[in-house]
Chains A and B, each alone.
Chain A
Amino acid sequence: MSVEAPAVRTVLAEDGVLLREGLAGLLERFGFEVVAAVGDAGALAAAVAEHRPRLVVTDIRMPPGFTDEGLRAAVALRREHPGLAVVALSQYVEQSYATDLLDSEGGRGVGYLLKERVADVQEFVGQLRRVLDGGTVVDPEVVRQLLRRNRDPLSRLSEREREVLGEIAEGHSNAAIAGRLHVSEAAVGKHIGNILAKLDLPPSDDVNRRVMAVLAYLRSGADRR
């Protein structure tokens, strides 16, 4: 089906056997090469060291402690292996988890998704690809929670701008956002310009301002603790 070559070397970490096998099958089918599928954080680190994958898809809660092992492993792996794309799958909408991960290495090439997003197979694969391309993908549920909050710098944005920012956080391109919101691509561009201006993100070559905008939101929540 997919013609792009070579296949993306991927390490999968998930302690539920059923889901792990299912995910592996899904990934293989869409042109990812699952070089290792493991069940805990220790094995994940070992597999990454051994196989040097481009992408890690990991569960957050794993043995032995069943807390946030996967997440901590992911953050550590991103520090050790610059450029490693990581998508964390969570059972929960916990913004603190998302913030941790997105804060790592400038938030490029990371994703934080609810597990159930894998059900929309093509959407999920699309999100993986966006992460591989250096994008930031945040689960719509987390974004919704952040957007619901009536705080600065959020309050400066209009309803439409928040919507657009939500779409950006999900990793969509301008064209995709235009399609999803049923507006012209030019309108999307204008909205994004307004958002960046309101968030004090001047044009610059070395940072992805879209990612920065998403991070600004997440941090506005993170600042509170």
Chain B
Amino acid sequence: MEEHGVGAAVRTAPGTARRTGRSAAEGSGRARPDTVLQALGTRRFLISAWPWRALLHAATTPLSALFFGVPLLVLTLPLYLPAFLVAEARDGLAAAPSAGTVPALLASGAVLMAVFGPLLALPAGRLERFRLRLVDGRDPGTGHRPPAEPGLWAWLRRRYTEAATWAELGLLVLTTALFAPLSLGLAMLGVVAAIMLSAPLLASEQVPLTIGPVQSETAAEAVPMMPVGVLMLVAVVYAAGGLAGAHGALARALLRDRGTAELRAELTEVTRSRARLVDAFESERRRIERDLHDGAQQRLVALSMQLGLARLDLPADSPAAQSVAEAQEQAKRAIAELRELIRGIHPQVLTDRGLAAALPELADRSPVPVEVAAVPDERFPDHIEGTAYFVVSEALANVAKHSGATRAEVAARREGGALVVDVTDDGRGGADPADGTGLTGLADRVAVMDGRMLLSSPPGGPTVLRVELPCQ
């Protein structure tokens, strides 16, 4: 079944995505490494695509540094200028800087960094995220959160105040100051290895080839250099793997959704408060239902019974009997309306007997014939039963209104720690939460319970709506 998450699934995705992500890694972790660093440990490293990816990463590091890092270095010149000034003064090359100069320089450097750093860090961060894919197959996420409101000002405020921006700035500094030079050094080693490999072609008496203490004047003399070159090349490839891997790991650590922890805490809190609201709402409904049931409905029944008795005492064709009959009719109608109202507020059978009894009753009232395949007899927590009932009720209403289905099926089962409810219909399919056919409302309701809603509705049907509600 091809399923795509909607609404709730998207909202609760962090948990699920992580879960599935981990299990995928566990399942095939040995066979398919996620990162260069993992690949380095495997025997097939050299014949895999990873060396090429690592080399590409290492090769583009200096370019990235050149593009974003050098402007930053120039911008923050006042930060390291004092070191030069002090050194020159010590060497007697220049006069000692005056007392206020060094702090002033440091301060202006810091201000420049703070003001313009993010403007460079943001595009640099974007590039680094892109480059990270070369050495790390896992998605680091955006790290950034959307601004609270539209407009440049809100955007700037968000970007300057969130950790992700400053992490990107840190990565930019490290890339420029550490990884770019190391990459360049590696590149030079690579050139040397290449020269040694091709030494027999390059060496001649006119141009003797000198590498370290060894000098070769003929091709034959240069041949022993070749295996050294091969070894060196292999070393360079491994070193590139290590460097790119380390760079990637650092980038990942810095770029991965930093706000996630706090965001998740925030979301949990939000979810909890929503759950509390729903709970409060639910118990309020039950209270109203009880009040109506024990109060108004009882009184109306008693009233209509009294009227019924009164009718017995009146001559059947008297005007008084007519009036009483009419009054009784009104009371009966009020009772019937009240009964439907109460059912809408909270189905009593659900409270009394749980889903196994309530879902078939619900199915009976659907205009489209509904088969209730299987429902566990066990009782679930109130809010789970309430939500499951609500979902089926809404889903069947949708089936009747939109699907064109001739029949539908409801099934529920316990799967581990969750209640899973499926509503299937043979309608035309193509149900889309974006159409606002009540599906988003359903997803919201499910999300509050920390559940997931899955929908499979290919054009032409069949439509399967699945809801998973965690319950301990």
Residues of A within 8 A of B (CB): 15-16, 18-19, 22-23, 25-26, 29, 61, 66-68, 91-97, 114-116, 118-122, 145, 148-151, 221, 224-225
Known contacts A115-B297, A116-B332, A121-B312; 10 further A-B pairs (Cβ under 8 A) = A19-B301, A22-B302, A22-B306, A26-B305, A93-B339, A114-B339, A118-B301, A224-B372, A225-B356, A225-B360
Say yes or no for B89: interface residue by CB 8 A criterion: no
Known A26-B309, A119-B308; judge A94-B361 contact (CB<8 A).
yes
Top 4 A-B pairs, shortest CB-CB distance: A119-B304, A121-B308, A16-B298, A67-B352
Q: What B residues does A67 contact at CB under 8 A? A: 348, 351-352
Contact B369 A150 (CB under 8 A): yes
A-B contact pairs, 27 of them (CB 8 A): A19-B302, A26-B305, A26-B309, A61-B293, A61-B348, A66-B290, A67-B351, A91-B293, A91-B297, A92-B348, A94-B361, A95-B361, A96-B349, A115-B301, A116-B339, A118-B305, A118-B308, A119-B304, A119-B308, A119-B332, A122-B312, A148-B364, A149-B369, A150-B369, A225-B356, A225-B357, A225-B375
Q: 8 Å CB contacts to A: which residues of B333-354? A: 335-336, 339, 342-343, 348-349, 351-353
**Per-residue contact bits, chain B 306-325, to A (CB 8 Å; 1 contact, 0 not):** 11110110000000000000
Chain A residues closer than 8 Å to B343, beta-carbon distance: 92
**Which residues from A are CB-within-8-Å of B369?**
149-151
* Chain A residue at minimal CB-CB distance from B351: A67
Chain B 118-152 against A: per-residue CB contact (8 Å), 1 yes, 0 no?
00000000000000000000000000000000000
Interface on B for A, CB 8 Å cutoff? 290, 293-294, 297-302, 304-309, 311-312, 328, 331-332, 335-336, 339, 342-343, 348-349, 351-353, 356-357, 360-361, 364-365, 369, 371-372, 375
Q: How far is the CA of A138 from the CA of B429 in the complex (A)?
A: 40
| B residues less than 8 Å from A115 (CB atoms) | 297, 301
User: Roughly how many angstroms separate A61 CA and B307 CA in the complex, as a whole number?
Assistant: 24
Q: A16-B298, A18-B302, A224-B360 are in contact. Are A25 and B309 (CB under 8 A)?
A: yes
Give the chain B neighbours of A92 by CB distance below 8 A: 339, 343, 348-349
Instruction: Write out the residue numbers on chain A whose beta carbons fall within 8 Å of the beta carbon of B360.
Output: 95-96, 221, 224-225
Which residues of B lie under 8 Å from residue A148 when comparing CB positions?
A: 364
Given A66-B290, A150-B369, A225-B372, CB of A19 within 8 Å of CB of B305: yes
Can you name the residue of chain A whose Cβ is closest to the Cβ of B307?
A: A119
B339 and A91 contact, CB distance less than 8 A: yes
Query: In the assembled complex, how far is the CB of residue A59 from the closest CB belonging to chain B, in whole angstroms?
Result: 10
A161 to B302, CA, bound (A): 35
A221 vs B371: C-alpha distance in the bound complex, in angstroms?
Answer: 11
CA distance A35 to B328 in the complex (A): 29
Q: Check if B364 sits within 8 Å of A119, measured CB to CB.
A: no
Q: B295 to chain A: closest CB distance in Å?
A: 9
The closest CB in chain A to the CB of B328 belongs to A119
User: CB < 8 Å: which of A94, A119, A221, A225 contacts B305?
Assistant: A119
With contacts A116-B301, A119-B332 taken as known, whether A145 is within 8 angstroms of B364 at the C-beta atoms is yes
Chain A contacts for B357, CB-based, 8 A:
94, 96, 225
Chain A residues near B311: list those with CB within 8 A: 121
In the assembled complex, which residues on chain B have CB atoms less than 8 Å from the CB atom of A26?
A: 305, 309
In the docked arrangement, what's the CA distance between A164 and B83, Å?
A: 105
Q: Which residues of A contact B342 (CB under 8 A)?
A: 91
Q: Which residues of A contact B352 (CB under 8 A)?
A: 67-68
Closest to B349 in A: A94
Task: Please name the residue on chain B nearest to A120 by beta carbon.
Answer: B308
Min CB distance, B425 to chain A, in Å? Answer: 16
Measured between beta carbons, the chain B residues less than 8 angstroms from A120 are 308
Question: Which chain A residues lie closer than 8 Å to B348 at the CB level?
Answer: 61, 67, 91-92, 94
Complex Cα distance A122/B356, Å?
A: 37
Q: Do A221 and B364 touch across chains, with their CB atoms under 8 A apart?
A: yes
- B298 A119 Cβ-Cβ under 8 A: no
Tell me, in angstroms, the Cα distance from A116 to B339 when the chains sit together: 10
In the complex, chain B residues whose CB is within 8 Å of the CB of A25: 309
User: Is the Cβ of B336 less than 8 Å from the Cβ of A116?
Assistant: yes
Task: Please give, as numbers and ranges, the residues of chain B lying within 8 Å of A121 by CB-CB distance.
Answer: 305, 308-309, 311-312
Contact B353 A96 (CB under 8 A): yes
Complex: chain A residue closest to B312, CB-CB: A121
Complexed CA–CA distance, A206 and B87 (Å): 118
Q: Across the interface, which residues of B come within 8 angstroms of A18, CB to CB?
A: 298-299, 302
CB <8 Å contact, B361 and A96: yes
* Distance from B139 Cβ to chain A, minimum over Cβ atoms (Å): 45
Interface centre among A18, A97, A145, A224 (most CB of B within 10 A): A224
Give Cα distance in the complex from A61 to B301, angstroms.
15
Chain A residues, Cβ within 8 Å of B301? 19, 115-116, 118-119
Q: From residue A112, how far is it (CB to closest CB) to chain B in Å?
A: 14
B306 to chain A, nearest CB (A): 6
Minimum CB–CB distance for B189 against chain A, Å: 75
Q: Are the C-beta atoms of A19 and B309 separated by less than 8 Å?
A: no
CA distance A149 to B299 in the complex (A): 33
Cβ–Cβ contact B305 & A22, under 8 A: yes
B361 — which chain A residues lie within 8 A by C-beta?
Answer: 94-96
Which residue in A29, A66, A224 is a CB contact (below 8 Å) of B309? A29
Alpha-carbon distance between A118 and B298 when the two chains are bound, in angstroms = 12
Q: Chain B residues near A221 (CB, 8 Å)?
A: 360, 364
Cα–Cα distance between A205 and B251 once the two chains are bound (Å):
88
Q: Which residues of A contact B336 (CB under 8 A)?
A: 116
Considering the complex, give the chain B residue whose CB is closest to the CB of A69: B352
A92-B343, A95-B361, A148-B364 are known contacts. Are A68 and B353 too (CB-CB below 8 A)? yes
